A = this chain, B = another copy of it.
Amino acid sequence: MHANSSQAPVRHGAMRAQNLGLVLGEVARGGPLTRAALAELTGLTKTTVSRLVADLLDAGLVAEAPAVPDGERGRPGVEISLSGDRVAALGLEVNVAYLAACVVDLTRRVRVRRVLRRDNRADRPAAVLAALAALGDAAVREVPGLRVAGTVLAIPGPVGGGRVHNAPNLGWRDVDVPALLGRPVTVENEANLAALGELEFGAAPRDFLYVSGETGVGAGLVSGGALFRGASGMAGELGHVAVASGAEAGGRACRCGATGCLEVFAGKEALPSPEALASGDPAALDACARAGRALGIALSSAVNLLDPGTIVLGGCYTPLFRWLSPPLCEVLAERLATLRPDLPVLVPSATGPDAAVLGAAGQVLQRVIADPAAYAEKTTDM
């Protein structure tokens, strides 16, 4: 019966793990900070903080540097910051026309970004994911000093429990992504990750709807700084919101099988290039106005239901913002202005095409910062 003797160390370990997360969290939020400041912020003793900081230094999660001298106040203290020299995150993305990978260090600096243009519809999921694994490996090899703490992968379609039930734009059905990628990975919807990328790496407020324009159209809702996922993690499927009925919808079926979906009218394939628009090509301007009005209808429904405050246009919509926004805002005003004291604010994405892959890497960093002990156990003796 070793129950008593084994319980104490377990409890001690759990408390130490929790305190490591507490200290690293404060450094991430407010660093650089001295050990004394960390003791004050966490309520831990200076001795405990010093021991925890030593562990975090060993694990390469933080670094120390002399504080900038503060006038007459004697010798400067040493300040603790996140370290960008050892721990990194791998973000991956499969989209219809490209694969992407990025390596981001713990200070959120993007160290490598690779994009491979590729028609992923032409290949089976296994081949696409093998190419993605190779792209990710190449990206990681470019920064040999960094250790990858984890991998998150963005997929353009609804995702539940690591499986892709149906991503019609890729032609994927019931794909077990981690098994095919051949490594531990968390799979998440592309628009959700792009919304988080915009929140963490962009300039978004704490309440917004991120709209991802690619071959498919998705959305991620951030409410009070957190992603809204819905009952089964499938919220935000803006691309299949109805924008047309009857004759307008007829004959233009969406890849999902329904008619009148936003994606048919405002997916990437319905949009002209920024060059054609800039040259004043009338057909291009017409197509963009039509897409903008369709987006206006879908987003008026989204505002009625979700009340997001701000709408961020991302993906292929970002470079088209100046052409899309006038018809879009016109429809929002037509459909919403009498009911609401304020119309939602419409802005282009600050992270552009990198939103999803940055958001993917950002999720890994958040996990490391929330539970540094779990990360360190895998890679060091800490």
Complex-state Cα separation, A165 to B235, whole angstroms: 29
A242/B339 in contact, CB under 8 A: no
Q: Which residues of B contact A336 (CB under 8 A)?
A: 240
- Assuming the contacts A301-B301, A335-B258, asked whether A308 and B245 have C-beta atoms less than 8 A apart, the reply is no
Distance from A188 Cβ to chain B, minimum over Cβ atoms (Å): 14
Distance from A120 Cβ to chain B, minimum over Cβ atoms (Å): 19
Q: Which positions 73-89 of chain A face chain B at CB distance < 8 Å?
A: none
Complex-state Cα separation, A258 to B207, whole angstroms: 26
Complex-state Cα separation, A53 to B83, whole angstroms: 54
Q: Which positions 276-327 of chain A face chain B at CB distance < 8 Å?
A: 297-298, 300-302, 304-310
Each complex incorporates copies of this chain amounting to: 2
Q: Which positions 217-268 of chain A face chain B at CB distance < 8 Å?
A: 219, 221, 223, 228-238, 240-249, 256-258, 260
Q: Which residues of B contact A272 (CB under 8 A)?
A: none
- A339 is contacted by which of B168, B230, B248 (Cβ under 8 Å)? B168
- Is A58's CB within 8 Å of the partner chain B? no
B307/A338 in contact, CB under 8 A: no
Distance from A82 Cβ to chain B, minimum over Cβ atoms (Å): 31
Q: Which residues of B contact A231 (CB under 8 A)?
A: 207, 223, 307-310
- Is A50's CB within 8 Å of the partner chain B? no
Q: Count the A residues whose beta carbon is within 8 Å of the partner chain — how many?
A: 55
Q: Which residues of B contact A258 (CB under 8 A)?
A: 300, 334-335, 338
Complex-state Cα separation, A334 to B253, whole angstroms: 12
Q: Which positions 41-72 of chain A face chain B at CB distance < 8 Å?
A: none
- Is A341's CB within 8 Å of the partner chain B? yes
- Assuming the contacts A246-B247, A339-B256, A341-B160, asked whether A307 and B230 have C-beta atoms less than 8 A apart, the reply is yes
Q: Which residues of B contact A245 (CB under 8 A)?
A: 243-246, 248-249, 260, 297
Complex-state Cα separation, A72 to B367, whole angstroms: 53
